[in-house]
Structure 1
Amino acid sequence: MHPDQWNDRLSRMRAAGLNAIQIYIPWNFHEVYEGIPRFDGSRNVTHFLSLAAQNELYALVRIGPYVCAEWENGGLPWWLLKRENIRMRTSDVRFLDAVQKWFDILLPRLKPSLHKNGGPILMIQVENEYGMFEEGCDQTYTLFLRDLIRQHLGEDVLLYTTDPADYLKCGSIPGVFTTIDFGTNSRAQIDSNFATQRCFEPDGPLVNSEFYTGWIVTWHQKGRVDPSVNDLMDGSMYMFELGASFAYYMFFGGTNFAFWNGAHAPSAVITSYDYFAPLTEAADISEKYIAIRNWIKNIEGWPNPPKAIPENNPYVLNFYHHKLLCCRTMNRLSKNISASMVASLASEETLLHFAEGHSIRRRYPMSFEQLDHPFGFVAYRSRLLKSGGNLTISVIKDHGYIFVGETYQGMLVDSLHEYQKRWILINGQSGDNLTIIVENRGRQTFETVNDYKVCHLKLYFETVG
C-alpha cells in the first residue's frame, strides 16, 4: 500500500478491535542495490511503526532475513545470486556476511521502537518457517541470527520463531520462543497443533502466528482457497477459549506493486495480494471484518474495544503519464548485439541505461543477475543461421516473447501450473535477427532455490521441410 494509505489501514484494523499488527521487513525492498539501503517514502518503517502506536496497536516485526510473504525471492536480495553457488539461509560465510551488514543497518533503526524504549514493538521474529527449508537444520545459521539480534537490541528482547506444527524440530532455536501457524481446522486439529507447540514451549502461551483468513492466487490457477466466515470465527473463538494468542494472516493484504510479487511453484503470484482478507485489497469492509469485530465487541473486558465501523473509501481513477521506453524496444536494440537490457519500470537507473542504448555482447546469454538487472525484462538477440523451423529453448526463466525482425512469433513459458511451452515454430530467413525478450515474473519465494533469471545457454533450431 502507498504510504498515504498507512494510517487509514491501521485505523481500520484498530476499529475492528485488534490490539497488534504483525509486519514483514523485506531486505530486498530496502537494499535493491547492494550497499545502498533506503528508508525513505514507502520504505520508512519507523514512520509506519509510529503510526501503529498512534492507533493503539502493538507490533510484531518479522525481520528475516528471509520472510517469504509470497514476495520476490522471499525478501532476499537478487544480488546475492551474483555470488556463485551461494547457499542462502545457511551458514555459508558469504551469506552471513551480507546478513550482518544488513542487520547492522536495520536493527539500530528499530531499537528506539521497542516496547522497552517506549515504542510499539513487542516481539521480533527470527527467520521464517525455517523448519520447512530443506537445509533447515543449520543451527550455526539460526544461532548466528539470534545472537546478532540480541547484540543490537539487548538480551531482554523477546524473539520468536514461526513454523507449522510438523516442522518445529528444525525451526525452533534455543532461547527463542517457538510459535506455530495454521489455518481453519477442526477443533481436534487445533488441539493437536497446540499440543505440538507445548512440546517445545511447556510453560509459555499458546500462539498461532499465522491464522489464515484466505490464501494467495497465482497466475493460471484454477479455483481459490477462501475459508468460510463460520469456519474462521469458530477457529478464532476456540483458540480464544484456550487462552491462545493468534494473528490473522492476512487481515489486510494489499497489492504487489511493480515487480515485487514472488513465485510460488508452479507459477508466479498475481499482482493482487487481496488474500480474501477481512479488509479487501481496496480496504473495503468485508463480511469477515464485520464478524470479527462483532465477536470482539462482545468479549468482556477486552482492552481494545472496537470503534465505529469505517466507511468504505471512494474509488478514484488516476491516470499517470509515463515514458514507456520498453514499447520502443525493437527500434532501440542494436543490430549487432546478443543481449540487451530492456526497460524496468522499477528502476529509473535502468530506464536511463536503456535510453542510452546500453547493450552487452557475449558469446553466450548472461543472466539478469550477471547483467546487474534485478527485475522486468531482458532482450537476447542473435541471428538465424537457417530459415524458418522449430525453435526449442531448454530453460527460460520465466516467459520468452519471440520476434524475428520486428514480427512477433509467439511466447515460450517455463511454468504456469500445468501449462508449459518450450518450443515454437518460427518464420524467418537465414540472417534475420532473432530476439527473445525474457520476462522475470518473480523469483521463487517459498522453495528458496537460487532462482536465476535467464534464457538458457542452449538453443535448438530444427528446420522444417
Structure 2
Amino acid sequence: MEQNLCVFVIILATTFLSQNYCTAQDNLPTLYEYYTKGGIDSGLTTYPDGFLLNGKNITIISGAIHYFRVHPGYWRDRLRKLRAAGFNAVETYIAWNLHEPEMGVFDFGDGDNDFSPFLNFRDYIRTAQEEDLLVVIRPGPWISAEWDNGAIPGWIYREANMRIRRSYAPFIKRMTAFFDQVFPLLRDLQFTEGGPIIAFQIENEYGLVGKGASHPDTAYLAEIHQQMLNHNLTALHYTMDAPISSYRNGSLDGVLMTANFQSDPVGQLTELKRLQPDQPLWDMELYPGWFDNWFEKHQTKTTEAFINMTRTILDMNSSINIYMFHGGTTFGFMNGAIPNTHTPTWKFHTSSYDFDAPLSEAGDYTEKYNATADLVKKYLAVQTRLPELPAQSVKEAYPAILVTEQLEFNRLMDLVSTSDRVTATDVTAMELLDVNGGSGQCYGFVVYRKTGLQVPPTTTLEITGTAHDMAVVMVDGVRKTEPITSVQQVTGFGYWQLSNATLSLDDASVGSNRTLDILVENWGRRYNLKGLYNGPVLLNGEVLQDWEILALQFKKIWIQSLSDWQEVSESSGPTLYRASLEVEGTPRDTFINMTTWGKGNVFVNGFNIGRYFSVGPTHTMYVPAPLLNQGANEILVFELFSPSSEIIFTDTPILDNS
C-alpha cells in the first residue's frame, strides 16, 4: 500500500509539473510574436554590448543545419528539435555547385538532377520560420564546410588559369551569374520583409586566404558586399575569421566581424573586441565536435568540454552559432578535402558528417543535446514559447539481403552512353572533357581506355606526374593494382602522393590486342583538377596516345536505365552489384553496415548515399526512411576491390574502427 501510494504521488507530481510547464509555455509569446509586436521597423542591428532585433534585445543562439545534408522529408523534424532546445535561429550555407551543376544551368528544386529534391532552399527557410526560428544565410561563393571544392563548381576550372576567390574578372563573372539567380530568391525572405533572414555572411574564413599577404584582396569581399546591396539584401552583413590568427585579413571596413576558433575562447573574443570595440561579440562557429577523415579516428569532444566552452563564451556576452547542431550526411560524391602538413599531403572527408553534434547524423537526441538545451535557455534575452520535443525516429535493422546480380567492369563500360564518351590524343582532366553540355565532369570516376595494345613481357606502365586521386589499372577487365587497406599505400603507384610512379604488368597481361583501362576516382576536390593531366601515360617508355575517355558519373537517371544484369560470379575487377530489400509497412531509418566490403559507393533506389571505405573510421551508411519505398527497394554497390555476398543492415551507426 505504501509503495503504491508513493508511485501514485510521483505520477501525480509529474503530471502536475508537466501541466504547469505546458500552461507556462502557452502563456509565453512565440519568438515572432515577441519581436514583431507593434510592427517591423528594423532588422538585426548592433550596439557595443549586443544585438537588437526590431529594437529589442536579442542574444542570438543559433545552430547550423545544412538543407543539402538533410533529406527534405526531415527538414521540419530537425528544425523543430533545434527550436525545442531553446535556439532562436538556424544557420545554413548555400551550395553553388548543387544549384549550378552545369555552367548556366540552375536548379533550385525544379530540376531533374540527383540533388534536385534537396535544393528548394526557399521552402527550407519558410519551414524554419514556421518552426519559429530566425535564419542566418551564408551564400558563399566559397563555403568550405568539408564540401567538394567549397561548393565552387568543378567546371569553373575549364577556363585556363582560373583564379577563384579573387577579384579576377573571369571568376567574378561566373560568381555574379550565380548570385544574380540566388539573391532575388532571398530578398523577400528577410526579416524586414516579413521573412526570417536576419543576417548574411560575406564569403567564408577569407582571412585564411589573406593571411600573410601584404595586401589581402578586399576588393573581392567588397564586390560580394556590393552585389548583396544591389539586390536589396539589406539584412546585417558580416564576415567570419579566427581573430588571433587572421587579424583583419578577412574583414571589410564598416562590416561586422565575427569569430571562429577551436580553443582559447577568452583570448579569441578579447582580440575580436580589441579589433572592433564598438561592435558586439558573435562566435559564428562554436564546434561541438569535428569532422572525420578517412584513415583517421572518429573525432569527438566530451559534453563537459563543449558545455564549459559554450558557457565561457556566453558569459562574455557573446552570441553563438553551434557548427554543427546537426551535421547530417554528405551524400553522393560531395565530400571535400583539406591539405595536410605531412604525408599523406591530402585528407579526404567521410560521407558521414555526424560531427559529434548535439543531434546525431540520423537526427537523434544525445547527451550533448540535453546539456546544451539546459545551458542556452539560461542566456536568452527573453523567454519565448518552445515546442514539445519531437519523438525520436525508430530505426530498423532490416534482415540481411543477398547480392543476386552484377555488372562486371566491361559490361558496365558498354552501358556508358555515347554522350559520356570522348576521344582524345592524350589523357586529360575530367573537368576538361566535352561532356555535360560542355561543362566537363565534376564527380565520380573517369576511365582512360586504350585498345588494340601490344603488351610484351616485362612491361612497365608509367603515369607521368600523379593520379588524382586513385588509379586502378586493368588489362582486359582484370585488375592489376592492389586493394588499398592502409594509408601507407598512397605513397605508391596510382595515388597523388608519388610522381612518375610505375607499375610492372604481370605475365597474364602479355599479349596482343589488349585493352588497357585506367579508372581514376576523384576522392574530393579542393582547388585542383581530377584525373590524369600532368603528362602522358607511357608503356615501356613509349607515349600512349589516342584514348577513349569515359565519364563514369553514376547519375541516377543512368543507374535506373542499366540492363543486362548477370548472376553473381567471381569478378576480377570493379563491379556493380545488385540486391533487393523488401520493406513491409512504413519504411524506417536504417544503416547499411559495410564492414565486409572494400571501397566504393552505395545507391538506394538510384540515389547515391555516399562512399564507404574499409580503412574507416566510418563503417555504416545512413539511409533516411524517405529514400525507401514500401515494397521492393533496389540497393546497388559499386565495389572497386573486395565485394561481399550480402548487404547487412543495422539500427545503430558504426562511426569508429573501435
On the 8 A contact 2:197/2:235 being kept in 1, the answer is: no
CA distance in 2 between counterparts of 1:162 and 1:140 reads 17
1:283-298 → structure 2 map (5 Å cutoff):
283-298=363-378
Counterparts in 2 of 1:305 and 1:17: CA distance versus 1, 3 Å? farther
Q: Which amino acid aligns with 1:180?
A: A
**2:462 equivalent to 1:392:** yes
Deviations 1:362-409 (A, max 9, x none): 221121111111211111012355334443323111111110112111
CA RMSD in angstroms, aligned pairs only: 2.7
2:310 counterpart of 1:241: no
**Partner Cα separation in structure 2 for residue 122 and residue 295 of structure 1:** 24
Q: Secondary structure at the match of 1:270?
A: coil
Q: Secondary structure at the match of 1:403?
A: strand
Contact kept in structure 2, 1:297 and 1:306, CA below 8 Å = no
Report deviation, 1:331. 3.2
The question of whether the paired residues in 1 share the 8 Å contact of 2:155 and 2:441 is answered with no
- Contact persistence 1:400–1:439 (CA under 8 A): yes
**Alignment of 1:3 onto 2:72:** yes
Aligned-pair identity (%)? 28
SS state at 2:532 partner: coil
Quote the offset at 1:462 in angstroms.
5.1
Q: Which residue of 2 aligns with 1:73?
A: 149
1:114-164 deviation digits (Å, cap 9, x = unpaired): 11101111000010001101587112211111111111125x431011111
**Over residues 311-359 of structure 1, what are the superposed CA-to-partner deviations in whole Å (9 max), with x where a residue is unaligned?**
320124789xxxxx9945413647xxxxxxxxxxxxxxxx8xx234853
Q: Which amino acid aligns with 1:110?
A: L
1:419 aligned to 2:471? no
Contiguous gaps of at least 5 residues in structure 2 = 1-69, 110-116, 340-345, 400-404, 434-439, 494-501, 542-658
Judged with a 3 Å threshold, the aligned counterparts in structure 2 of structure 1 residues 47 and 462 are, in CA distance, closer, same or farther, namely same
Q: Decide whether aligned partners of structure 1 residues 72 and 300 sit closer, same or farther in structure 2, where only a CA change above 3 A counts.
A: closer
Call closer, same or farther: CA 1:38–1:366 in 2, change over 3 Å.
Answer: same
Inter-partner Cα distance in structure 1 for 2:421 and 2:364: 46
AA matched with 2:220: Y
1:138 matched to 2:217: yes
Structure 1 unaligned spans of 5+: 320-324, 335-350
The amino acid of 1:96's aligned partner reads I
CA distance in 2, matches of 1:276, 1:195: 27
Find the partner of 1:225 among 278, 299, 305. Answer: 299
Cα distance in 1 for residues equivalent to 2:520 and 2:406? 13
Between structures 1 and 2, the one with greater strand share: 2
- Structure 2: how far apart are the matches of 1:455 and 1:85? 15
Partner of 1:161: 239
2:104 pairs, out of 35, 38, 46, with 35
Q: Distance in 2 between matches of 1:164 and 1:255?
A: 26
Q: Structure 1 residues 96, 299: closer, same or farther in 2, change over 3 A?
A: closer
Q: CA deviation at 1:46?
A: 0.5
Q: What TM-score results when the alignment is normalised by the length of structure 2?
A: 0.62
Hey, what does 1:62 align to over in structure 2? 138
Change (3 A) 1:457 1:200: same
User: What is the match of residue 255 of structure 1?
Assistant: 329
Q: Does the alignment pair 1:204 with 2:279?
A: yes
- Where does residue 204 of structure 2 map in the other structure? 128
User: C-alpha deviations, 1:2-57, integer Å up to 9, x for none?
Assistant: 11110011011111111111100011110001111111121001000000001111
| Residue 23 of structure 1 pairs with residue 92 of structure 2 | yes
**Cα displacement string for residues 436-463 of structure 1 (whole angstroms, at most 9, x for unaligned residues):** 111111102xxxx233433542335459
Change (3 A) 1:90 1:357: closer
May I ask how many residue pairs the two structures share in their alignment?
Answer: 431
Residue 510 of structure 2: aligned partner: 429
Q: What amino acid does structure 2 have at the position aligned with 1:157?
A: A
Change (3 A) 1:373 1:260: same
Distance 2:422 2:295 in 1: 34
AA in 2 matched with 1:14: R
Structure 2 CA distance for aligned equivalents of residues 307 and 71 of structure 1 = 32
Query: The residue matched to 1:410 in structure 2 has which SS?
Result: coil
Letter in 1 for 2:516: L
What is the aligned partner in structure 1 of residue 480 from structure 2? 409
**CA separation in 1, counterparts of 2:388 and 2:146?**
32
What is the SS of the residue equivalent to 2:375?
helix
Q: Counterpart in 1 of 2:362?
A: 282
For the residue of structure 2 that corresponds to 1:392, the secondary structure is strand
Which TM-score applies when normalising by structure 1?
0.86
Match of 2:524 among 413, 432, 442: 442
Q: Distance in 2 between matches of 1:398 and 1:236?
A: 39
Structure number with greater Rg is 2
SS of the equivalent of 1:214 reads coil
Following superposition, the deviation at residue 418 of structure 1 comes to 8.0
> 2:218, 2:250 within 8 Å by CA — same for their partners in 1?
no
- Label 1:126 to 1:250 Cα distance change in 2 as closer, same or farther (>3 A): same
Give the structure 1 partner of residue 441 of structure 2: 373
Contact 1:399/1:412 (8 A) holds in 2 = no
Structure 1 residues 230 and 39, CA gap change in structure 2 (3 angstroms): same
Whether contact under 8 Å (1:253, 1:277) holds in the other structure is: yes
Over 3 Å counting, the alpha-carbon distance change for 1:326 and 1:175 in structure 2 is farther
